[in-house]
Amino acid sequence: MQVKSEIAGSVWKIIAETGADIAADDVIVILESMKMEIPLVAPKAGKLKEIHVSEGDMVGEGQLIATLD
């Protein structure tokens, strides 16, 4: 399952680790947008297969951030 950002901003912190089992609503990364820290959470439980961004990256609306298995 693809987890996409619904907002534009930058990647402030990566919270979850690749390969980890995460629960629904667990925070994967925190984005910074309009001077606020906005968590991007897992829409459902699963294994975090890949995080496609690095801290400091700019992201756009609809951009792929992580892949869940």
By CB under 8 A, name the binding residues for another protein.
Answer: 6-8, 33-39
Of 39 and 46, which CB lies nearer to another protein in the complex structure?
39
| Residues whose CB falls within 8 Å of the CB of residue 35, separated by 6 or more in sequence, listed in order | none
Q: How far is the CB of 12 from another protein (least distance, A)?
A: 9
Of 22 and 31, which CB lies nearer to another protein in the complex structure?
31
Q: How far is the CB of 6 from another protein (least distance, A)?
A: 7
Alpha-carbon distance 28 to 38, whole Å?
A: 11
Q: How far is the CB of 19 from another protein (least distance, A)?
A: 27
Alpha-carbon distance 1 to 69, whole Å?
A: 6
